[in-house]
Structure 1
Amino acid sequence: MPPPPSLLDTFRVLASFDPPRVSLRGAPWEEYVDWAIAQGLAPLAAYNLQYRLGGATAPEWVGDRLLAIHQGSINDNVMKLVNFKQMVDDLQGRKLVLFGGAAFADTLYPHVGFRPVTELQLLMKRLDVDGFAGFLSNHEFKPEDASGTGATRAISDGRTLICLYSDVLGPKRKEQAAGILERATPTRIYGPSVFRAALEDALLLAVLDQARQGYEVPWLTFLDVRELVTGAKAMGGPYSRPLDVPALLARAEEWQLERALYTSLAIVARLFPEAAADATAAFPPLRRATRELLDRTVVGPVSTPGRTTALKGLERVRRLLTGQ
């Protein structure tokens, strides 16, 4: 008789867009449910468990808790994204680049409710930050503390946090940030002024966000990276194509994100065996000693589900991975 599935086994099955028809009898549900909710994984897990796996022999309380989160995620995402659309739909003459979770919910995930959106992230020219913040003040948005986000300005209406970025790569890389704006493509759904970051830029911005937080991030963000690396095969949208690996690596070097890119891709390769080939094919050319250091200090610990201890030397990790 095979051993019961581990926490990692359970995660892999319930985080798949095409989960294998397996029994999860004996899975560590008490540990998994609370952890999955905290990691932003509950909406997708609930759908897979209820509609793709027929319950997978999980206790009834597991499905009930996860489904409640699933429905709440749908309602919250729809409210945030519809309200944003209503505000910006008629905005003319601007270039606002949507990236992060709000850009991924409808381009990487088969259902918008699978990817909880905690905040909206928008990149724009520095001269547009104050004007757009003023525009949103007409919709009851007020200033919020932006420290720790890397954003130039953060605003909220009490329900939706919107982070406005100009020098998203830091003050020394303004030309590279301008390139993100130039390569961005129209979203259409949000009107003529809202664009999405190109695939390679979207991946590097996701990696940058993980690195800035010292990889103390929800595991949901590794699903984002998985889908960006593998070309969003479940969808037919702007990110559903193979990565341009030479362009990705060239930009990673320009942005000084090679170590962070390696770290994020190495974590994805460990967590998702089906994505390992695509992830490793995009590894930047780091020295062996650097890879081994990152594997030991970041990749290994972060790839352990249910980890309750923080990474050692978190501030040093941030500086190492973001070239600061």
Structure 2
Amino acid sequence: MAPSLPDLFQTLTSFEPQRGSLRGAPWEGFVDWAIAQGLGPLAAYNLEYRLGGGDAPEWARDRLLSVYQGTVNDNVMKLVHFKRMVGVLEGRKLVLLGGAAFADALYPHGGFRPLLEIQILLRRLDVEGFSGFLAQQEFKPAEDEQDSGAARVLSDGRTLIHLFADVLGAERREALKGVFERAHPHRIYGPSLFRPDLEDAVLLVCLEQARQGFQMPWLSYVDLRELVTGASWMGGVYSRPLNGEVLRARAREWRLERALYTSLSILSRLYPQTAPAVEGALPPLRRATRELLNRLVVEPASVVGRASALRGTDRLRRLLTGQ
């Protein structure tokens, strides 16, 4: 039997893909979708170097491989430039999120994880000052990128930088202080750059997914998979077992229990091997709430290749983020 679309997704986004033929798989439905979801580089590497081509059609291999090569170059360009800019900063505490925090800590090769933008969490009082610093480096407001939930979005024409503050809402600023206190130094970028602790990183990914109504690139689920399973391929800051008790307590404090449940439930459907780790981390929601979330969000958001948006996105955001 030819592999299905979910089979392709699981195989080509694994760090240890099972060898076998992918002949007859629905490549027309996978390739462009995977590239749009940020999964192209990892899929290309697996297909070419782990599966020996996997009996895939030449056009699919060529298309994915070109994305992989372009991503490697793009990531290097963006991160080297960013390092040169921020390496001189002292006496600050800026917390990197997303690809800049995860690429070298979760992925065996930095080229597997496209750097779609650089996300930084900072204190509200630091937004103006850091924006001014970036302005000196020729970064200007990116007016067409203001729906991201960021306090500021800046670009120099090559790299987007999203600045986030008060991501838990003004009423939970005390809880957010803990993220800064627990953050780990990211020394490659200088003394002022940090990345969140493991449990905080999981919750911040879940928060971003919920705020985007689960319309974000599916690369986010690969990030979440590696965080939840303790980055077993690596030996860094995220390579430890997830503390479910701590995670649930912080989710309750941040009012993100529904978002955490939803993201983890989708994850376990997409990657069944994560089920044991997910089960130990799920928050204790009422049965009626679980059934509602499963029906409205988890089931439709778990469809590989889905192109349509979930219904009632704005209402879902409020439901899942406690607002």
| Aligned structure 1 segments of 4 or more residues deviating by more than 6 angstroms | none
Q: Identify the residue that residue 168 of structure 2 maps to in structure 1.
A: 169
1:1-324 correspondence to structure 2 within 5 Å: 3-145=1-143, 147-324=146-323
Aligned amino acid, residue 219 of structure 2: L
- The Cα of 1:124 is off from its aligned counterpart by 1.6
Whose helix fraction is larger, Structure 1's or Structure 2's? 2
Verify the 8 A CA contact 2:213 2:317 in the aligned structure 1.
yes
- The Cα of 1:139 is off from its aligned counterpart by 0.7
In structure 2, runs of 5+ residues without a counterpart are none
SS at match of 1:110: coil
SS at match of 2:20: coil
Aligned amino acid, residue 254 of structure 1: E
Higher alpha-carbon deviation: 283-292 or 125-134: 125-134
- TM-score, normalised to structure 2, is 0.98
Verify the 8 A CA contact 1:100 1:205 in the aligned structure 2.
no
- The Cα of 1:169 is off from its aligned counterpart by 1.0
Note the alpha carbon deviations across 1:161-205, whole angstroms, 9 max, x for none. 111122111111111111111110101100100011111111111
Verify the 8 A CA contact 2:146 2:152 in the aligned structure 1.
no
- The Cα of 1:218 is off from its aligned counterpart by 1.3
Identical pairs, percent: 65
Verify the 8 A CA contact 1:154 1:163 in the aligned structure 2.
yes
Aligned amino acid, residue 228 of structure 2: V
Find the aligned partners of 2:48 and 2:211 in 1 and give their Cα distance.
36
Note the alpha carbon deviations across 1:96-125, whole angstroms, 9 max, x for none. 111112211111111111111111111122
Find the aligned partners of 2:312 and 2:122 in 1 and give their Cα distance.
33
Aligned amino acid, residue 53 of structure 2: G
SS at match of 2:263: helix
Aligned amino acid, residue 245 of structure 1: G
- The Cα of 1:308 is off from its aligned counterpart by 2.5
Verify the 8 A CA contact 1:4 1:25 in the aligned structure 2.
yes
- The Cα of 1:58 is off from its aligned counterpart by 0.6
- The Cα of 1:241 is off from its aligned counterpart by 0.6
SS at match of 1:97: strand
- The Cα of 1:158 is off from its aligned counterpart by 1.1
Find the aligned partners of 1:308 and 1:210 in 2 and give their Cα distance.
16
SS at match of 1:106: helix
Find the aligned partners of 1:306 and 1:55 in 2 and give their Cα distance.
22
SS at match of 2:166: coil
Find the aligned partners of 2:165 and 2:178 in 1 and give their Cα distance.
12
Find the aligned partners of 2:120 and 2:218 in 1 and give their Cα distance.
22
SS at match of 1:94: coil
Aligned amino acid, residue 186 of structure 1: P
**Structural RMSD (CA):** 1.0
Aligned amino acid, residue 158 of structure 2: R
- TM-score, normalised to structure 1, is 0.97
How many pairs align? 322
In structure 1, runs of 5+ residues without a counterpart are none
SS at match of 1:34: helix
